[in-house]
Structure 1
Amino acid sequence: MSNPRWKCRPPGSNWGDFGPNDQLGRLNLLTPEKVKQGVAEVKTGERFCLSLPLDLPGGNRLNPRRHAPRLQPVSDGKNDYYNYPLCCEHPGATDVISDDCVVLYTQYSTQWDSLAHVGGLFDVDGDGTPQRVYYNGYRAGSHVVGETRPVNTVDRQTVNAGALGVENMAVAAIQGRAVLVNLHKHYGDDRVEVDYALLKSVLAADRITVEPGDMLCLYTGFADRVVQMAGDPDPAVLHGACAVLDGRDPELRDWITSSGIAALIADNYAVERRPTTKQPPSDGPFMPLHELCLFKLGLPLGELWYLAELASALESQGRSRFLLTAPPLRLPGAVGSPVTPVATI
């Protein structure tokens, strides 16, 4: 199999399986039938917001590159339009208006990672020279535009994911059946690296079946700790809190590949532990699940979702499946997006 953008695809990848120009990856498995399966899980009509307040975690101590949203009034250079009486411009008008804008880091809080978020160095041309590429062979520089360079506040570069941007996920209108796995029930707040054996034991104990096209949600309790810290996160505590997937377990990676899940979602910071306690290879990925999911499989990752109330409700009803509706912002060229997911049970 080859493609105009690549002659060789990474081992274990599904590049080209959904078409030569596919930009959705495993979201293609969210078929109308999967949506109907999700709708069939609605029993009580209860709805749950699965987003944290977007100003959490708070500060930038968990990730120095990302900052909380900053709201400010819209201005025309003379007036700030907040609590603004229109009679100042239109005598006799009784309207008072407020209009704001926001500086927003798209992956600061509850988020989707698009397939342009993490790529890899791989010899797609078969000439012995690794190239910077993303899912389905889309190239850094020509499709995902922007370069790593020192910040210049006078001349900031333009960046744009002309391919694999998050708007593709928005147009796909992410909705379907999701399955929640309650890792917190089994492991509490302890930092446990969940490999395939541990995950398999939880699925068996809770009688959970995951089928192709399902979206898998992992409740660990991490986001609960973030909420409790009320905007003042303690990195020393959070980096050692709650369950995470063991991205260096090959059996777990094989299961993610073979399971056919359409999305992988967690309430923690990166789904997998970053960094892992296991010794990373000298020439491999720093984040192996991100490489597998985003780069090889086209499997979007959801991070820092708020799942506590949903988990409690499902547990009380002896259930694990629900209808999930979770499109990102339709923001062309973005590599990630805030999301306000809704679970309906």
Structure 2
Amino acid sequence: MAHKIPKFSELPLDKNGPHHNAWGLYGKDDQLGTLNRLTDDIVKAASSEIQTGIRIGLDWPLDAQKDIPLFGRQAFHKEVYQKTPRIVNDDVWTFNTQSSTQWDGFRHFGYQKEAVFYNNTTLDQIHGTNGTPPTNTLGIGAWAAKGIVGRGILLDYHAWRLAQTPSPPHYNAFETGSISVADLQRVAEAQKTEIRFGDILLVRSGYMEAYAALSRAEIEAVRAKQPLTFTGVEQSDEMMEFLWSNFSAAGGDHPSWEAWPTQREYALHEVMLGGWGMPIGELFDLEALGRHCGEVGRWSFFLTSEPVNVPGGVASPPNALAIF
């Protein structure tokens, strides 16, 4: 099947815009970016991944980081109250949409030097400042109409790394380190996982296992570091081309998706969110998924995710399921 997207070498599309942008590919008012790749035909084809009916949730609990979420974000709070005198309960939740598993929306991270978001959207348009009326442009609620649904693949870097004997590649979840395209391709080859255009990519780095082993004092020490440091996918032309050429969305189990702080003069967040409109997933709980994939020898599945329908929202819990 031919897929009509520009080659990576043809970016930027808008020559007046920042590096590697794909502005205007789906029109100047587009709200979906690379989610446009999830056509009806691609989603229908992905449904063939459903063979056993086994379902695995990918959301970490909303209160998983309790009162010490990273990046200074607000903790989840739940209030359950009785509607007296009836035997009826209601509850109220307050939380930062990025304090647990999340999709980063296109309002979250723009090009830093140019101070613009996807399709040349400005801070003034988002916030209604400097005489510009506020809008819901690029709000994550636009994704809710069709959701993020298609063929998901897990590249289980963590399992692959540990299998490299006698000396697995160095990995420390809490120091700046890069996972290369070459290694992700080796993972896919070892798993015999075919990458198809429009796939939703998930990378299991090993972060969740490492985080679960920390004491509270150790988590507080990690949280106090400035800047925070994490291992994630590398910043490189090769990584950008790999992502651009294949996927509709990409994410992983760690807090920053990419190596943090960035090791280049740009961040992947700028290019993916601000340049292409490619959703970034972070803090996905991939432990049960990784175990099941290893048991059945299949790392592809039908993935369904319904972001919360909040007009103008910046990010959302994914409400994601992998279905086999």
- TM-score normalised over the length of structure 2: 0.82
Distance in 2 (alpha carbons) for counterparts of 1:160 and 1:323:
37
1:60 deviation in Å? 3.0
Which residues of 2 match residues 116-135 of structure 1 at below 5 A? Answer: 116-121=107-112, 130=114, 132-135=115-118
Distance in 1 (alpha carbons) for counterparts of 2:285 and 2:216:
15
Distance of aligned partners of 1:223 and 1:72 in 2 relative to their CA distance in 1, 3 Å threshold: same
Counterpart of 2:256 (choices 265, 270, 280) is 270
Q: Any idea what SS the aligned residue of 1:302 has?
A: strand
| 1:179 and 2:162 correspond | no
Cα pair 1:56 1:227 within 8 Å, conserved: no
Which residues of 2 match residues 148-167 of structure 1 at below 5 A? Answer: 162-167=136-141
- Give the equivalent residue in structure 2 for 1:213: 198
Q: Tell me whether 201-210 or 103-112 shows the greater mean CA deviation.
A: 201-210
Cα pair 1:161 1:335 within 8 Å, conserved: no
Cα pair 2:67 2:76 within 8 Å, conserved: no
Query: Identical aligned pairs, as a percentage?
Result: 31
| 1:291 and 2:274 correspond | no
Counterpart of 2:171 (choices 182, 190, 194) is 190
Counterpart of 1:38 (choices 36, 46, 55) is 46
- Give the equivalent residue in structure 1 for 2:143: 169
The one-letter code of the counterpart of 1:13 is N
Runs (4+) of structure 1 exceeding 3 A deviation are: 224-233, 235-241
Which residues of 2 match residues 9-88 of structure 1 at below 5 A? Answer: 9-60=17-68, 62-64=70-72, 66-73=73-80, 82-86=81-85
The one-letter code of the counterpart of 1:187 is R
Distance in 2 (alpha carbons) for counterparts of 1:321 and 1:331:
30
1:17 deviation in Å? 0.8
The CA deviation string for residues 212-256 of structure 1, in whole angstroms up to 9 with x for no partner, is 111001112212333455877626569777x52112x22112221
- TM-score normalised over the length of structure 1: 0.78
1:183 deviation in Å? 0.5
- Give the equivalent residue in structure 1 for 2:98: 107
Counterpart of 1:332 (choices 296, 300, 311) is 311
The one-letter code of the counterpart of 1:32 is D
Distance of aligned partners of 1:96 and 1:231 in 2 relative to their CA distance in 1, 3 Å threshold: farther
1:72 deviation in Å? 2.5
Cα pair 2:256 2:282 within 8 Å, conserved: yes
Distance of aligned partners of 1:232 and 1:146 in 2 relative to their CA distance in 1, 3 Å threshold: farther
The one-letter code of the counterpart of 1:162 is N
Q: Any idea what SS the aligned residue of 1:262 has?
A: strand
Stretches of structure 2 that go unaligned for 5 or more consecutive residues are 1-13, 163-169
- Give the equivalent residue in structure 1 for 2:245: 258
1:7 deviation in Å? 7.5
- Give the equivalent residue in structure 1 for 2:5: none
Distance in 2 (alpha carbons) for counterparts of 1:204 and 1:161:
45
Cα pair 1:56 1:68 within 8 Å, conserved: no
State the superposition RMSD in angstroms: 2.5
1:274 deviation in Å? 1.2
Counterpart of 1:8 (choices 1, 4, 16) is 16
| Structure possessing the higher radius of gyration over alpha carbons | 1
The CA deviation string for residues 116-147 of structure 1, in whole angstroms up to 9 with x for no partner, is 1111156xxxxxxx4x21101112112x1167
- Give the equivalent residue in structure 2 for 1:305: 284
1:160 deviation in Å? 6.5
The one-letter code of the counterpart of 1:246 is E
Cα pair 2:229 2:261 within 8 Å, conserved: no
1:339 deviation in Å? 2.3
Stretches of structure 1 that go unaligned for 5 or more consecutive residues are 1-5, 74-81, 87-94, 123-129, 148-158
